[in-house]
Amino acid sequence: MLDDLVISEAIVKSFMEDFIDSIRLDVAIVGAGPAGLMAGYCLAKKGRKVVIFERKLSIGGGMWGGGMMFNKIVIQKESKRILDELGVKVKEYKEGYYLANSIEAVTGLTFQAVKRGLKIFNLISVEDVMLRKERVTGIVINWSSVQLANLHVDPLSIGSRVVVDATGHSCELARLIEKKVGSYLKTESGGVMGEKPMWAEVGEKTIVDNTKEIYAGLYVAGMAANAVFGGPRMGPIFGGMLLSGEKVARMISERLEKGDSD
């Protein structure tokens, strides 16, 4: 016999346990696209308390839909080892160009990350950051449905030793700092430089170079990195996103290992 009420109780209790356990974090990642997921995977492997907050119902960001809804992605040689490690099937198309199924890539990455301890909360939007002494110390969250319905409901706060802006083209946290604090980002102009037109060759290189701390306690990864530093877009090639996620995780791990969160 199945009791409907036990089902409800099981879901709510278990969710609340996860949620309460996520109020104080090592790393809060905003956005479950390829860069955020890869960062989460690498940090979870290192044993860090890491959570991704994703606005949408689905995970995968722009990788889920492949190129113009053809659900395939291209990656380059440097990042093939990552999909190999995740157990995602990769096929050589021409020398230097590798193909994967976008759904297999997203689910493979997510499954491996969650198995290693990454938590993902979907349907939650990050609407602000917490600042203490000119340093990001956490994020401010609300249900995406509250935002969508334009309801006036106050949010909740999550504390984190560091925060990653992996929000893609919109680089929302960087823009928030610029809007609320001023032009104090670690860019040439001090503000968000803005994404440049399509150029895969350059975009894929700069995305990794641009993966860094942009304000005390706030890192940028993935497409947001090129949007912040003025790098080009690159279309449906995703190696750079995975490498960017890997790089941000490495930088953060080194910092946290030193016990340095300032």
User: Residues in the site for ligand 48H, rule: CB under 6 A?
Assistant: 30-36, 53-56, 61-63, 125-126, 166-170, 172, 198, 222-224, 233-235, 238, 241
Q: Positive or negative CA dihedral for 58, 62, 99, 37?
A: negative
Q: Where are the beta strands (DSSP E) in the chain?
A: 24-30, 50-54, 72-76, 91-94, 97-101, 119-122, 124-131, 136-143, 156-165, 212-215, 218-220
Nearer to ligand 48H, 138 or 168 (CB): 168
Nearer to ligand 48H, 55 or 161 (CB): 55
Nearer to ligand 48H, 185 or 237 (CB): 237
Residue 76, phi-psi category: left (phi > 0), alpha (psi -120 to 50), beta (remainder): beta
Please state the closest distance from residue 3 (CB atom) to ligand 48H, in A: 35
Please state the closest distance from residue 157 (CB atom) to ligand 48H, in A: 14
Nearer to ligand 48H, 31 or 90 (CB): 31
Please state the closest distance from residue 172 (CB atom) to ligand 48H, in A: 4
- Token pair for residue 152? 């006036």
Please state the closest distance from residue 2 (CB atom) to ligand 48H, in A: 35
Give the 3-state secondary structure of 88-111.
CCCEEEECCEEEEEHHHHHHHHHH
